[in-house]
Amino acid sequence: MATTPYRGLFRRFDWVLLGATLLLVAIGVATLFSITLNVEQPHIEKFYRQLLSFGIGLVVLVIAASIDFRKVRSYAWVLYGIGLGTLSAVLIVGTTHRGTTGWFSLLGSTFQPVELMKVLLVVALARYLSDHADEGASWKVIGFSAGIIAVPTALVMLQPDLGSAMLLVGLWLGMLLFLRMPFRRFAILILGMAVIASIGWFGLHSYQQKRIMTFLNPSSDPLRSGYNVHQSIVAIGSGKLFGRGLGLGTQSQLNFLPTQDTDFIFAVIAEELGFFGVLVLLSLFSAFLSRLVRGMRLNRDIFGNLLLAGTMILFTFEIFLNIGGNIGLLPLTGIPLPFLSYGGSALVCSLLAVGLSMSVISRSASH
């Protein structure tokens, strides 16, 4: 009987990684649906749009996993240029939402190019750092890689999108650490960035400064700048052990909790499913990230390892920034919770990153 050329490849898929991903998406879709259950004017179209985005993202995942990641390496700079092109174009023809010009709008659908740039930047940094792996984390490598990250970060700040800019810089620092940077050099780098950040404070918009000040003291203005964090903490606490049930969360259903389908979807899950629901969610994230680490241990290709490392760092930062903002331990950055927050761009691009990771894992020399 004839076999397809990809049959052996699919057999080597990391099904645990894929299963954790699909379960996380399922929880996110179910939560989005629950938000509309008891409101007077349900916005069920968001639920259907997320399902459509998931369908598209699943196709993207399979295609990315089927492509040899070493071929992706060959086109890293082309992909990087495409990412920069979309970030530049959105500043000219993009639409503005809540003060940020970061979306393309066409035929009733929107696309946020910074979500694609996150994945393409992982590819570009993995390419550059793998090309210079023998040099380690030298000042030359640090400087050139800083140039790679500086351009998209500047374009994102012009939108302005402080949260995504912070994420891109964090991604760069995290990937540099995989080159075993000496502690003294890392300390100097962090000190220099702290000085730049202090100077950059004066260039931030007032609402961005308020978010950071709210992080330092969330209770200072609970009815204005601290309102979102306060309501999120109330929602999380009200879930207790087993939650109020899907569609029965008072904070989300009565709209005390703002942007519950994006920034604060974790708070909705905690309120409706309780501590045990959150425990399941965190367990799935842990399983997901641990499979990326396992893939790095099995793989022998430097570019592939850096690709997995960058993906792990990207998702880890997004998880910690979103959940940390929900519980008041970190500033609110507007970073979506991977696979769960409403947003087609974020979901499709996250599934693209998973597909690229599966391409590396399935072709590991140790399989």
Q: What is the pLDDT of residues 157-185, one digit of tens each?
A: 999 888 899 999 999 999 998 887 888 88
Binning pLDDT at 50, 70 and 90, where does residue 201 land? confident
**pLDDT score recorded for residue 85:** 97
Rounded CA-CA distance 73/70 in Å is 5
Binning pLDDT at 50, 70 and 90, where does residue 366 land? very low
**Per-residue model confidence as pLDDT tens digits over 311-364:** 999 999 999 999 999 998 888 888 999 999 999 999 999 999 999 999 999 987
State the average pLDDT over residues 126-130.
96
Taking all residues of the chain, what is their mean pLDDT, rounded to a whole number? 88
Is the Cα dihedral 242, 245, 246, 249 positive or negative? negative
Considering only the C-alpha atoms of the chain, give the largest distance between any 2 of them, rounded to a whole number of Å: 71
**pLDDT score recorded for residue 218:** 57
**pLDDT score recorded for residue 367:** 44
State the average pLDDT over residues 130-149.
92
Q: What is the pTM of this model?
A: 0.92
3-state secondary structure 249-308: CHHHHCCCCCCCCCCCHHHHHHHHHHHHHHHHHHHHHHHHHHHHHHHHHHCCCHHHHHHH
- Map out the domains of the chain as residue ranges: 15-362
- DSSP 3-state of 112: coil
Rounded CA-CA distance 240/274 in Å is 5
267, amino acid identity: A
**pLDDT score recorded for residue 2:** 45
Residue 126 · residue 303 · CB < 8 Å: yes
**pLDDT score recorded for residue 211:** 64
Rounded CA-CA distance 160/141 in Å is 28
Which tokens in the block code for residue 150?
């500086």
State the average pLDDT over residues 112-136.
95
Q: Which residue has the higher pLDDT, 211 or 161?
A: 161
Residue 96 has phi, psi (to 5 degrees) of: -105, 130
Residue 120 · residue 79 · CB < 8 Å: yes
Rounded CA-CA distance 91/83 in Å is 13
